[in-house]
């Protein structure tokens, strides 16, 4: 069974440029998460989806970040415009169960470098 | 404010010894606590989940304890091997199972042959 697939794995852009990350969760997983991970830190939640509905986006910086999950399957996270401080790894995860009783399956992450 | 603390940023142990990692939390009442392993350049991988009404959970050489009075979880790797070298993350839900996981910073374990 395929795991969570993310692309691109690496992206280098100039500040003020836009960038988009794509995630395909495990088939049948209705819950999808985007986490941000800075070097030496744990993942921090940006947004959680239940099917196509964003049920927790309080940590998403909405002035420059946006996300969508059309048709409740794959998802895209966009940053426009990117800032130097956005350099980080963007992790996508999916789970069968919602909340703490569901194990998360993570993708390999998309490493963003903003110059 | 809510806080999750993992005992140290790095832990070095000799091969064959038991590694013990600590996760402390304040101002949470988690129903579940999970442990993940993360290798450099990879996403975290789930290891174990323990519920608030469970004291201990085991899986092969791994053991997790959960003390809701002390607000602490201990993660043990017995007979450690160099292949166990990785960063270990604890994660918990903020309340009663229907909230997304919050992660600690992780502890980087190095097992020396």
DSSP string, B17-76: SPEEEEEEEES-B-SEEEEEEE-TTS--EEEEEEETT-SEEEETTEEEEEETTTTEEEEE
Q: Cβ distance B65 to B55 under 8 Å? A: yes
Region B12-25 average pLDDT: 96
Per the CB < 8 Å rule, is B100 touching A33?
Answer: yes
Percent of chain A scored above 90 by pLDDT?
Answer: 83
pLDDT band at B2 (very low <50, low <70, confident <90, very high): confident
Cis peptide, bond prior to residue A81, ω within 30 of zero: yes
Region A14-40 average pLDDT: 96
Question: Please, what sign has the CA dihedral across residues B33, B46, A7, B85?
Answer: positive
pLDDT for residue A82 is more than 70: yes
Residue B47: the pLDDT is 97
Contacts of B4 in chain A (CB under 8 A): 42
Residue A78: the pLDDT is 98
Q: Cβ distance B86 to B21 under 8 Å? A: no
Contacts of A4 in chain B (CB under 8 A): 43
Cis peptide, bond prior to residue A75, ω within 30 of zero: no
pLDDT for residue B1 is more than 70: yes
Q: Which residues pair with B19 in a beta bridge?
A: B77
- Interface contact A4, partner B, CB < 8 A: yes
Q: Which residues pair with B20 in a beta bridge?
A: B76
Contacts of B105 in chain A (CB under 8 A): 40-42
pLDDT band at B95 (very low <50, low <70, confident <90, very high): low
- Interface contact B53, partner A, CB < 8 A: no
Per the CB < 8 Å rule, is B104 touching A42?
Answer: yes
Q: pLDDT, tens digit, for every residue of B72-94?
A: 999 999 999 999 999 999 999 86
Question: Which of these, A62, A61, A77, lies nearest to A25 by C-alpha position?
Answer: A77
Region B94-112 average pLDDT: 84
Cβ partners under 8 Å of residue A16, min gap 6: A81, A82, A83
Question: Which of these, A5, A7, A17, A11, lies nearest to A111 by C-alpha position?
Answer: A11
Residue B56: the pLDDT is 96
């Amino acid at each position: 069974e395929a795991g969570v697939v993310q692309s691109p794995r690496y992206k280098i852009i100039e500040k003020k440029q836009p960038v988009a990350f794509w995630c395909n969760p495990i088939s049948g997983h209705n819950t999808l998460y985007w986490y941000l991970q800075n070097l030496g830190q744990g993942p921090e939640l940006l947004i959680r989806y239940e099917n196509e509905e964003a049920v927790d986006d309080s940590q998403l910086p909405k002035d420059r970040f946006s996300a969508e999950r059309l048709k409740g399957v794959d998802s895209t996270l966009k940053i426009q415009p990117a800032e130097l401080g956005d350099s980080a790894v963007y992790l996508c995860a999916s789970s069968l169960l919602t909340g703490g009783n569901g194990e998360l399956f993570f993708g390999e992450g998309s490493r963003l470098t903003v110059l | 404010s809510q806080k999750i603390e993992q005992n140290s940023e790095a832990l070095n142990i000799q091969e064959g010894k038991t590694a013990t990692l600590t996760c402390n939390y304040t101002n949470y009442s988690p129903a579940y606590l999970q442990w993940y392993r993360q290798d450099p350049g990879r996403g975290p991988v789930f290891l174990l989940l323990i519920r608030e009404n469970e004291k201990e959970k085991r899986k092969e050489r791994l053991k997790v304890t959960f003390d809701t009075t002390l607000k602490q979880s201990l993660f043990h790797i017995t007979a450690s091997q160099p292949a166990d070298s990785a960063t270990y993350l604890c994660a918990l839900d903020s309340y009663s199972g229907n909230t997304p996981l919050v992660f600690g910073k992780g502890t980087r374990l190095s097992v020396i042959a």
